[in-house]
């Protein structure tokens, strides 16, 4: 059969015909889960001398009927045993199940169709050709997870198929919850209590399934990067943050360990029936690290940044818990093709530039915890929209100037070094802080070359910027002790601001870029408090979420903690 293929690009996968090009083998395992397939690959390699030949495939590549027909004709036709793990039951691969069952009955193939959600499914039992006792044994081994259990499942399937395999009666199961380090694997968490460590601790929470599938590359990468900054790191894994026993264990460990911060790599909300999440017990920043299910190229080329599913799992629902979204850390990528299995495992491949950005962001928040309060330098930023002097700091439904005054008062009462004036609006209109253009040009060279080029092509020489006078930028900014209150410069031209202000493709002009670089490199702000409308993260060119270093908000804000009251 000749299949005509077409490529599909984007963050949503469409069901296009695929030819996996696999030759026949004695055993075949099919699953929607890359973790499953990774465990079976590792298990087979552990004892391949005593196991039949094997093929592995992800069912997402076999969703089109033409793909199913091609795979049956080229690969399954020579199988003696087939194991299929399904999430969601028959409707999720109905055509494939019909055709594979017909083949199994015709050829006498041992067929095991198992539920992947831990429940017994009578419909799947009926489709299978093996005894119920064998199906339950295979289900138990698959639920146990990990390479040893997968190896035992392959041996069981081989014997059920009339093939030789060395009996594998022992499968070491991983604890449902536990602690982990990249140096030692599973460890005892008590070794990391306050009395036994001399560095701040960052906890990394992740799924048990990642450990079972040996799919921990992004967790290892962020752990190593944080250690470069002088932190201890400890992974805590569980099947789910919501499972009652796992949640109780996590709560006890986090409360006992007293971390400086938590990075979470599980998806969705972590709040259980009690309305609380185990990650909240330490009362420290909890950062959400997205392990994207899309490829890096889809993220790189897409304006949205994450697929709708990833957006829901890693951004929207975690924000319900109050987590701080810290960006994408990895993408699902195919590894080097295994020639013996004719299979390329899709696993979480870390993006090391994003890992470094995430670590810097975590460090900035931890630094806020330990820096003496009188030395902290907050920057309060007000919008100039809609550009009229009498509407300075305008925000619908919010008195931004009164809010700024109240925030400064609260900071002073908490021990910050704040010196306030009585008439903030008048003083702010008159106040100017200067920054030499040559200092700006030096800082600008730290930005990606593509952004520098866009800025120069559109806005020309920085000396021609309206806020430059005598070789210096003049920002509307007022020092209030260690705090600063400033008006955000215009992104474009005043006479075309109605069009410019909500144009997310508009490259900001030099004075806008200079202002944020000045905040970071000259004023050295510890945190940015943007009061009211039109925050820097909202309207600048770049992805909607999961930013790259080529996105203007990321380039200007960097790792600076941002608080956005509105």
* Distance from C-alpha of 147 to C-alpha of 183, rounded to nearest angstrom: 20
Could you tell me if 437 and 392 lie in one domain? yes
pLDDT confidence of residue 32:
87
- Report residue 145 as tokens: 């997870």
Could you tell me if 437 and 474 lie in one domain? yes
The number of domains in the chain is 3
Whether residue 146 lies inside any domain: the answer is yes
517 CB contacts (<8 Å, ≥6 apart)?
A: 440, 443, 444, 556
- Report residue 456 as tokens: 């120069």
Could you list the pLDDT tens digit for every one of the 566 residues in the chain?
333 333 333 333 446 789 999 999 999 999 988 888 988 998 999 899 999 999 999 998 898 999 999 999 999 999 999 999 997 788 889 999 999 999 999 999 999 999 987 778 999 999 999 999 999 999 999 988 888 889 999 999 999 999 989 877 654 567 889 999 999 998 999 888 877 788 999 999 999 988 888 889 999 999 999 999 999 999 999 988 988 999 999 999 999 999 999 999 999 999 988 889 999 999 999 999 999 988 999 999 999 999 888 999 999 999 999 999 999 999 998 888 999 999 998 889 999 999 999 999 999 999 999 999 999 999 999 987 656 665 677 777 888 899 999 999 999 999 999 998 888 988 998 999 999 999 999 999 999 999 999 999 999 999 999 999 999 999 999 999 999 999 999 888 766 666 666 778 889 999 999 999 999 999 999 999 999 866 666 788 999 999 999 999 999 999 999 998 87
Could you tell me if 154 and 198 lie in one domain? no
532 CB contacts (<8 Å, ≥6 apart)?
A: 382, 383, 393, 394, 395, 398, 400, 403, 566
Specify the CATH number for the domain of residue 268: 3.40.50.2300
pLDDT confidence of residue 565:
84
Cβ-count burial 17-53 (b if 16+ within 10 Å, e if not)? bbebebeebbbbbbbbbbbbbbbbbbbbebbeeebbb
pLDDT confidence of residue 9:
36
Question: Whole domain around residue 93: which residue ranges?
Answer: 27-160
* Distance from C-alpha of 275 to C-alpha of 272, rounded to nearest angstrom: 5
pLDDT confidence of residue 155:
96
3-state secondary structure of 294: coil
pTM over cut 0.75: yes
- Which phi and psi angles does 63 have, rounded to 5°? -85, -25
Query: Per the omega criterion (within 30 degrees of 0), is the bond before 386 cis?
Result: yes
Contact call for residues 71 and 98 (beta carbons, < 8 A): no
Q: What is the DSSP letter of 420?
A: -
Could you tell me if 423 and 328 lie in one domain? no
Could you tell me if 76 and 221 lie in one domain? no
Whether residue 386 lies inside any domain: the answer is yes
Helices (H), 47-196: 65-74, 94-107, 122-127, 132-144, 147-160
- Tell which of 130, 160, 190 closes a domain: 160
Whether residue 328 lies inside any domain: the answer is yes
Could you tell me if 331 and 419 lie in one domain? no
Could you tell me if 128 and 202 lie in one domain? no
Could you tell me if 242 and 109 lie in one domain? no
Whether residue 19 lies inside any domain: the answer is no
Specify the CATH number for the domain of residue 108: 3.40.50
Could you tell me if 428 and 286 lie in one domain? no
Could you tell me if 74 and 124 lie in one domain? yes
Could you tell me if 387 and 517 lie in one domain? yes
Whether residue 357 lies inside any domain: the answer is yes
3-state secondary structure of 362: helix
Whether residue 11 lies inside any domain: the answer is no
Q: Helix-strand-coil percent breakdown of the chain, rounded to 5?
A: 45, 20, 40
Could you tell me if 114 and 195 lie in one domain? no
Half-sphere exposure of 532 (CA within 13 A, CB side): 24
Whether residue 9 lies inside any domain: the answer is no
């Amino acid at each position: 059969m000749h299949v005509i293929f077409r490529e599909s690009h984007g963050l949503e996968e469409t069901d296009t015909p695929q030819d996996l090009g696999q030759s026949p083998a004695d055993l075949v395992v099919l699953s929607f889960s890359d973790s499953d397939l990774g465990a079976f690959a590792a298990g087979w390699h552990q004892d391949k001398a005593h196991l039949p030949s094997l093929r592995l495939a992800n069912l997402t590549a076999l969703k089109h009927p033409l793909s199913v027909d091609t795979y049956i004709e080229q690969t399954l036709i020579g199988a003696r045993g087939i194991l299929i793990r399904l999430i969601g039951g028959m409707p999720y691969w109905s055509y494939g199940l019909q055709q594979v069952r017909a083949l199994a009955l015709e050829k006498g193939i041992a067929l095991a169709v198992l539920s992947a959600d831990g429940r017994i499914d009578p419909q799947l039992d009926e489709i299978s050709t093996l005894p119920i006792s064998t199906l339950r044994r295979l289900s138990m081994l698959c639920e146990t997870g990990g390479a040893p259990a997968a190896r035992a499942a392959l041996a069981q399937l081989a014997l059920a198929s009339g093939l030789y395999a060395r009996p594998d009666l022992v499968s070491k199961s991983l604890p449902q919850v536990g602690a982990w380090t990249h140096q030692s694997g599973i460890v005892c968490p008590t070794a990391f209590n306050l009395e036994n460590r001399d560095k701040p601790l960052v906890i990394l929470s992740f799924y048990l399934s990642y450990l079972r599938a040996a799919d921990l590359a992004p967790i290892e990468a962020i752990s190593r990067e944080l250690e470069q900054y002088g932190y201890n790191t400890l992974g805590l894994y569980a099947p789910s943050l919501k499972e009652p026993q796992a949640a109780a264990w996590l709560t006890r460990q986090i409360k006992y360990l007293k971390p400086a911060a938590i990075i979470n790599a599980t998806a969705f909300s972590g709040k259980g029936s009690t309305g609380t999440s185990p990650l909240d017990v330490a009362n420290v920043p909890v950062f959400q690290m997205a392990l994207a299910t899309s490829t890096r190229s889809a993220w790189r080329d897409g304006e949205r940044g994450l697929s709708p599913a990833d957006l829901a799992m890693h951004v929207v629902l975690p924000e319900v818990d109050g987590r701080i979204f810290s960006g994408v850390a990895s993408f699902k990528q195919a590894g080097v093709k295994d020639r013996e299995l004719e299979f390329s495992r899709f696993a979480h491949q870390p993006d090391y530039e994003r890992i470094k950005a995430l670590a810097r962001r975590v460090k900035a928040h931890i630094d806020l915890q330990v820096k003496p309060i009188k030395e902290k330098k907050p920057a309060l930023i007000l919008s100039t929209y809609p550009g009229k002097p009498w509407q300075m700091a305008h925000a619908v439904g919010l008195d931004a100037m009164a809010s700024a005054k109240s925030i400064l008062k609260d900071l002073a009462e908490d021990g910050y070094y704040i010196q306030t004036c009585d008439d903030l609006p008048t003083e702010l209109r008159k106040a100017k802080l200067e920054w030499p253009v040559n200092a700006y040009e030096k800082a600008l060279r730290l930005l990606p070359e593509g952004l520098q080029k866009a800025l120069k092509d559109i806005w020309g020489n920085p000396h021609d910027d309206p806020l430059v006078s005598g070789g210096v930028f003049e920002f509307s900014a007022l020092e209030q002790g260690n705090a600063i209150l400033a008006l955000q410069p215009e992104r474009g031209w005043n006479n075309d601001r109605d069009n410019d202000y909500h144009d997310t493709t508009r490259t900001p002009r030099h004075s806008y870029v200079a202002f944020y670089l000045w905040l970071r490199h000259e004023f050295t702000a510890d945190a940015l408090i943007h009061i009211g409308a039109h925050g820097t993260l909202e309207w600048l060119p770049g992805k909607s979420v999961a930013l790259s270093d080529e996105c203007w908000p990321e380039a200007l804000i960097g790792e600076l903690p941002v608080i956005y009251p509105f």
